[in-house]
């Protein structure tokens, strides 16, 4: 499967979206006697790569219960919950967290983020490409929905992970999560402070909250959608500057992206 195919699928350009309701593994009949042992072996291998210094409490649930558990934890007020995927994805998060030496503190990242204005200040990061003018395209007659929560599932098959991890981050603000996880700053993916600034702006304007995050993906959910095409196109352009592949290798035009933003609460970003 090509990158373009994956992005089209996850951006909502195919009619079939990833199913988010499957039978609980606790009630489903076993399909193979060796499956639990195999899963335990894989889980142990992945967990062995998680550095001990990843300091945040972790809750593990079946993949089909991830969003419901996130909602429960969100209401409990014990910190900001973020769904980080299965064992492999947790290991990737931990690897990123431990990569820098010396590592920046969340406070330092948040202080830097407060000086940024998005998306204009993306140019201050030397890893960004020169701004391009994406095609406007035509407004779709039947805009499709976004991909929803993807981090609880396998990106290629759409099958939900047998177990999914949720980290509790010591903040009440979802936009601060990239600072606490030191998330970003590889290839075309902006550094943590730029993610914080972008998510803060979108929270202020659209009530956007960070729900899921794995080694390369952000799943956001907006409380408010753009109310007209002009606002939706402006937001689509912001998202393009932040994540050009959403159009360049995904939905192919500003109008297609804007229509999705008016049709769905879920936003999807994926860097490789």
Taking only the tens of pLDDT, the chain with its 272 residues reads 333 444 444 444 323 332 333 233 333 333 333 333 444 454 454 455 554 568 999 999 999 999 999 999 999 999 999 999 999 999 999 998 988 878 899 999 999 999 999 888 987 787 776 667 899 999 998 877 777 899 999 878 889 999 999 999 999 999 999 999 999 998 889 999 999 999 999 999 999 999 999 999 999 999 999 999 999 999 999 999 999 999 988 899 999 999 999 999 999 999 97
* Residue 137: exposure state from Cβ atoms within 10 A (0-12, 13-18, ≥19): middle
Task: Find how far residue 116's CA is from the centre of its chain.
Answer: 21
Tokens at 1, concatenated: 């499967």
User: pLDDT at position 53, please?
Assistant: 67
User: pLDDT at position 14, please?
Assistant: 29
Residue 169: inside a domain, yes or no?
yes
User: pLDDT at position 142, please?
Assistant: 84
Residue 45: inside a domain, yes or no?
no
C-alpha to C-alpha distance for 118 and 47, rounded to whole angstroms: 36
**DSSP assignment, residue 145?**
P
* Residue 37: exposure state from Cβ atoms within 10 A (0-12, 13-18, ≥19): exposed
- Residue 167 lies in domain: 3-10+53-128+158-270
Q: 161 near 85, Cβ under 8 Å?
A: yes
DSSP 49-79: TS-TT--S-EEEE-GGGHHHHHHHHHHHTSS
Coil, strand or helix at 135: coil
Q: Write down the residue that tokens 């010591």 correspond to.
A: 170
Residue 228: inside a domain, yes or no?
yes
- Count the domains in the chain: 1
Residue 116: inside a domain, yes or no?
yes
User: pLDDT at position 29, please?
Assistant: 35
Residue 32: inside a domain, yes or no?
no
Residue 136: inside a domain, yes or no?
no
Residue 146: inside a domain, yes or no?
no
User: pLDDT at position 155, please?
Assistant: 77
pTM: 0.81
């Amino acid at each position: 499967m090509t990158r373009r195919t994956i992005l089209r699928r996850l951006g909502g350009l195919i009619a079939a979206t990833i199913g988010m309701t499957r039978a609980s593994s606790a009630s489903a009949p076993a399909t193979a006697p060796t499956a639990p042992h195999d899963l335990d072996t894989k889980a142990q291998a992945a967990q062995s790569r998680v550095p001990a210094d990843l300091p945040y409490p972790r809750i593990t649930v079946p993949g089909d219960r991830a969003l419901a558990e996130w909602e429960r934890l969100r209401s409990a007020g014990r910190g900001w919950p973020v769904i980080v995927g299965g064992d492999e994805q947790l290991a990737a998060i931990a690897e990123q967290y431990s990569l820098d030496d010396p590592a920046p503190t969340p406070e330092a990242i948040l202080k830097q983020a407060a000086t940024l204005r998005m998306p204009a200040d993306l140019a201050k990061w030397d890893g960004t490409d020169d701004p391009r003018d994406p095609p406007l395209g035509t407004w779709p007659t039947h805009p499709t929905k976004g991909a929803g929560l993807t981090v609880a599932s396998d990106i290629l098959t759409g099958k939900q992970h047998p177990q999914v991890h949720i980290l509790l981050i010591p903040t009440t603000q979802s936009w601060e999560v990239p600072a606490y996880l030191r998330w970003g700053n590889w290839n075309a993916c902006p550094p943590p402070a730029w993610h914080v600034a972008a998510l803060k702006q979108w929270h202020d304007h659209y009530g956007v909250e960070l729900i899921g995050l794995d080694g390369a993906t952000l799943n956001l959910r907006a409380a408010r959608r753009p109310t007209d095409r002009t606002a939706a196109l402006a937001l689509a352009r912001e998202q393009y500057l932040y994540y050009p592949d959403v159009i360049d290798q995904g939905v192919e035009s500003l109008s297609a992206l804007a229509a999705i933003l008016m049709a769905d609460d879920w936003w999807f970003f994926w860097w490789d």
